Chains A and B, each alone.
Chain A
Amino acid sequence: MSERVDLQEFVGAFVAEAEELAAAANLSLLEIEVANTEGTTRPRIVRDLFRALHTIKGLAGMMGVEPIVEIAHALETLIRSADRAGGLLSPKAVEIALQGIGEISERVQAVAERRQVAGIPVQLIATIASIDAEPAATRLIKKIPSGWEGRLTVGELQQLDHAHDTAIPVWAVTFMPSASNVTRGITIASVRRDLAAIGELVRVFPRALAGPGDATGVAFDMLLISKASRDVIAATAATELVDIVAVVAHSAAAVAEIAASGAPDAPGAPDRDDHVTAIGRAVVRVDLSRLDELQEQLSLLIVSRFRLEHEIAAIAKLGHDVRRLREIAQLQGRQLRDLRRAILRARMVRVADVLEPLNLLVRGLARSTRRPVQLVLEAGDTELDKAVADRLLPALIHLVRNAVDHAIEAPEERAAAGKPTTGTVRVSCVAVAANHIELVVRDDGQGIDRDAIARRAKRPIASDAELLEVLTRPGFSTREVATTTSGRGLGMDIVQRVAVAELGGELALQTTLGAGTAFTLRVPITIAVMDVFSFQCGAQCFVVPASLVEEIFEVSAETVSVGPSPPRPGAGASTNSAVSLFEHRGQAIPLLSLGALLEIDSGARARKALVIRRNGQPMAFSVDRMIGRQEVVVRSIDDPLVTVPGITGTTDLGDGRPTLMLDLNELASVYRDRVAS
């Protein structure tokens, strides 16, 4: 009993770690695949892969997930022999390894969802074993630099061998960390990084040095394959050092001469360079729920701050001097903002990391559709909230899948159109404004045939915005034939829901027949705290995301025209009178009475109108009275009793009562459907 409880505590950490390792393993395999096509090998990547699998195996063993242990073990064996073969992993082996990782991920997911974990895939393991048994194309290594014997793996020696074959010099470099180096920002971590940038760093080996007196130091022996000049290497590894000698790999003896000067390894010195990699940024892994908790606490603080302001205003009304109180409240407000920013930073993930899984997706799709497609990811250093990232990814997967499945033409077709036979799907991300990012999924495929869609939708389509509206209708599909990749519908309604309803963002479309399509998602980088307009309608207050509101203006009787609305059988009276027309800057804008829409009309004359843009068209909602603009913490509504279209969440404006957040776009849809039926 207690044992099970203990393990449950580790599930979160296990899942997080295993997922990350599986993703890293996938990436490594993809890189090896690229190397295969280039006819080169990546021994270091193979070693990373081995380590990832080994760790997965260890973790799964600890958790008692036997099937994962078995798969990881089989793959580990396969990769170990690849390491021995100098990083040579056949395309077939890469294929089967990807499959194996997929099986692992699936089981990790099952653990995460507390589902039954699928058993040991005997067939797959047998296949892995059979590949492993194939004779590896190992070359004989003859030149082992003395002093490095037994310190280099066969794979590393093969790297040296390869360098020799291609006449690239091998260098023995020794770096000694010193105080003066540290002050200049030069550490083994920076040297490693910089050396790796100018060549192939074969191995880093730490070695203890006996210093004067009791002092001990550490030196790092490194083997570097590089075409760079001696001076460049010396400068890269910090110029003070004199232990750099160019070695042409032909003369293995020379390597021996200059390399390890005979100093014995420090007792218990870590094998490989594991402890070296530990130098660098300190990283703590935190379960997302803990950050949520922190944010929840912050939300409560923000709410109590609103209360405080309310009270201060009440005291001021009684004629008391509240200047000092106000100052303190303002200071506290700033501090809360800083705190919020700090928490937000902790929740940020790199967009580049979020997009990574798309590589695998496109790879699989390209295979199943038999169309050569390349994915280009351009995320730079943009970051966003993990919570947003988690919601965003399914939408991006939809868009990328659609692009490969529906947009990219067959190679012959592309060639005939004068396009490169390999299609390109480009996902780029840039930060726009302070709190938004814009993600663009662009393909160079056939574009969307507006006329064909118009025929199917049985309505004219005059613009990309109208096209998007048709495409995002639930269940609308451009394809009669269901394909395995995209299923029956395009799923564009899901993309729209994620971008607009869940994240309070925007979705836009731009397509050119024959040239390609671009979908633009503009979403906030975080969703916990929102900038809203609050207003009164009927007896209640409501809020709407400020980012959605284009304009607020006065409503006067002279500018509003209530058109004809003859009574219709079966239709409620309120639906008929809910909409009127409004003249604004020479344009006729539909004006919906929010009170009538929500059936909470107070009978009071509406004084203000909020203008939003719906599918590119302006549309106004009349409200009784504006209250203000503020930052609020939004809670989602999840109880089925109150899950109602058009209402997306609640917030507390400081009165201790829930205030509803509205989705005006969705309310407009509800209204349209009501009138249409």
Chain B
Amino acid sequence: MTNDLHVTFRVGTASYAVPAAQVLHLESFENATLVPGAPAYVAGLVQVRGRVVPVVDLRVRFGLPPVERTIDNRVLVVQVGTRVAGLLVDSAREVLRIDETSFEKPPEMIERQSAGFVTAVATVTKRLFLLVDVPRLIGEELAHG
């Protein structure tokens, strides 16, 4: 029954959702240790509850221009298999119940333009949420060579 719980967040002008089951916790974001040589969308390393975790800057990942960081910035700590990574987002507040059936395949043009990061679209009380592919966001393809 908890399967339809989603953590929602904003990056740029859009709202996104990830299944709550993939999110370990939310953290505020102050600063990350830069890792020279890592992909540009890697904001760096942060230490979360004794664990060193790489953070993916979703603004960069989504091809948006950089903006001044604010106190609303959040890191969604997500787990994919044995990997734990952070997603740096503009803001994240709500945990919403979004029924599975309300997700629809995104329009083809959106799907293409988003490079596969968006897998579905849902409308909840007239608000639009884009469901993102977390393994893809954290570069699951890197893990398999």
Question: A residues engaging B (CB < 8 A)?
Answer: 300, 540, 598-600, 635, 637, 639-642, 644-647, 650, 652, 656-660, 670
16-60 of chain B: CB within 8 A of chain A: 31, 33-39, 42, 45-47, 50, 52-54, 56
Would you give 19 A-B contacts (Cβ < 8 Å), ordered by A? A300-B50, A600-B36, A639-B54, A639-B83, A640-B139, A640-B143, A641-B85, A641-B138, A642-B38, A644-B35, A644-B36, A644-B38, A646-B36, A646-B37, A650-B33, A650-B45, A652-B47, A657-B33, A660-B35
Determine how close the nearest CB of chain A comes to the CB of B143; give it in whole angstroms.
5
> When A650-B52, A652-B47 are in contact, do A641 and B33 touch as well, CB less than 8 Å?
no
Asked if B142 is at the interface (CB within 8 A of a chain A CB), the reply is yes
Q: Is the CB of B37 within 8 A of A644?
A: yes
Which of these, A599, A641, A658, A670, contacts B42 with CB under 8 Å? A641
Q: Is the CB of A658 within 8 A of B47?
A: yes
Which of these, B31, B36, B54, contacts A641 with CB under 8 Å? B54
Question: B residues engaging A (CB < 8 A)?
Answer: 31, 33-39, 42, 45-47, 50, 52-54, 56, 83, 85, 138-139, 142-143
Given contacts A300-B50, A540-B33, 15 further A-B contacts (CB under 8 A): A639-B83, A640-B143, A641-B38, A641-B56, A642-B35, A642-B42, A642-B45, A647-B35, A652-B47, A656-B47, A657-B31, A657-B47, A658-B52, A660-B45, A670-B37
- The complex places the Cα of A652 from the Cα of B52 at a distance, in Å, of 10
Residues of B contacting A657 in the complex (Cβ-Cβ under 8 angstroms): 31, 33, 46-47
Residues of B contacting A659 in the complex (Cβ-Cβ under 8 angstroms): 33
Q: Is the CB of B50 within 8 A of A639?
A: no
Considering the complex of A and B, which 9 residue pairs feature the smallest CB-CB distances, nearest first?
A644-B37, A598-B36, A640-B142, A641-B54, A658-B45, A642-B54, A658-B33, A640-B143, A642-B35
What residue in chain A is nearest B35 (Cβ atoms)? Answer: A642
Residues of A contacting B85 in the complex (Cβ-Cβ under 8 angstroms): 639, 641
- The complex places the Cα of A72 from the Cα of B138 at a distance, in Å, of 47
Name A's interface SS: mixed
Q: Is the CB of A647 within 8 A of B54?
A: no
Q: Is the CB of B142 within 8 A of A641?
A: yes
Determine how close the nearest CB of chain A comes to the CB of B48; give it in whole angstroms.
10
For the A-B complex, the count of residue pairs with Cβ-Cβ distances under 8 Å equals 60
Determine how close the nearest CB of chain A comes to the CB of B36; give it in whole angstroms.
4
What residue in chain B is nearest A537 (Cβ atoms)? Answer: B36
Determine how close the nearest CB of chain A comes to the CB of B130; give it in whole angstroms.
22
What residue in chain A is nearest B53 (Cβ atoms)? Answer: A639
- The complex places the Cα of A659 from the Cα of B54 at a distance, in Å, of 13
What residue in chain B is nearest A647 (Cβ atoms)? Answer: B35
What residue in chain A is nearest B50 (Cβ atoms)? Answer: A300
Which of these, A600, A635, A670, contacts B34 with CB under 8 Å? A600
Most B Cβ at <10 Å: residue of A300, A598, A670 = A598
Q: Is the CB of A641 within 8 A of B47?
A: no
- The complex places the Cα of A600 from the Cα of B35 at a distance, in Å, of 10
Q: Is the CB of B36 within 8 A of A599?
A: yes
- The complex places the Cα of A647 from the Cα of B31 at a distance, in Å, of 19
Determine how close the nearest CB of chain A comes to the CB of B82; give it in whole angstroms.
9
Q: Is the CB of B33 within 8 A of A660?
A: yes
Residues of A contacting B33 in the complex (Cβ-Cβ under 8 angstroms): 540, 650, 657-660
Which of these, A635, A637, A639, A647, contacts B36 with CB under 8 Å? A647
- The complex places the Cα of A584 from the Cα of B89 at a distance, in Å, of 49
Determine how close the nearest CB of chain A comes to the CB of B27; give it in whole angstroms.
12
Residues of B contacting A600 in the complex (Cβ-Cβ under 8 angstroms): 34, 36
Residues of B contacting A635 in the complex (Cβ-Cβ under 8 angstroms): 52
Determine how close the nearest CB of chain A comes to the CB of B24; give it in whole angstroms.
15
- The complex places the Cα of A645 from the Cα of B83 at a distance, in Å, of 20
- The complex places the Cα of A635 from the Cα of B53 at a distance, in Å, of 12
Residues of B contacting A641 in the complex (Cβ-Cβ under 8 angstroms): 38-39, 42, 54, 56, 85, 138-139, 142
Residues of A contacting B37 in the complex (Cβ-Cβ under 8 angstroms): 598, 644-647, 670
- The complex places the Cα of A639 from the Cα of B78 at a distance, in Å, of 13
What residue in chain B is nearest A541 (Cβ atoms)? Answer: B33
- The complex places the Cα of A635 from the Cα of B45 at a distance, in Å, of 13
- The complex places the Cα of A644 from the Cα of B83 at a distance, in Å, of 17
Residues of A contacting B46 in the complex (Cβ-Cβ under 8 angstroms): 657-658
- The complex places the Cα of A659 from the Cα of B45 at a distance, in Å, of 9
- The complex places the Cα of A252 from the Cα of B52 at a distance, in Å, of 74
Determine how close the nearest CB of chain B comes to the CB of A637; give it in whole angstroms.
8
What residue in chain B is nearest A644 (Cβ atoms)? Answer: B37
Residues of A contacting B142 in the complex (Cβ-Cβ under 8 angstroms): 640-641
What residue in chain A is nearest B51 (Cβ atoms)? Answer: A635
Residues of A contacting B52 in the complex (Cβ-Cβ under 8 angstroms): 635, 637, 650, 658
Residues of B contacting A598 in the complex (Cβ-Cβ under 8 angstroms): 36-37
Determine how close the nearest CB of chain B comes to the CB of A39; give it in whole angstroms.
56
What residue in chain B is nearest A598 (Cβ atoms)? Answer: B36
Most B Cβ at <10 Å: residue of A644, A645, A659 = A644
What residue in chain B is nearest A638 (Cβ atoms)? Answer: B83
Residues of A contacting B53 in the complex (Cβ-Cβ under 8 angstroms): 639
What residue in chain B is nearest A645 (Cβ atoms)? Answer: B37
Determine how close the nearest CB of chain A comes to the CB of B114; give it in whole angstroms.
20
- The complex places the Cα of A197 from the Cα of B118 at a distance, in Å, of 75
Most B Cβ at <10 Å: residue of A635, A646, A647, A658 = A658
- The complex places the Cα of A17 from the Cα of B37 at a distance, in Å, of 44
Determine how close the nearest CB of chain B comes to the CB of A665; give it in whole angstroms.
15
What residue in chain B is nearest A300 (Cβ atoms)? Answer: B50
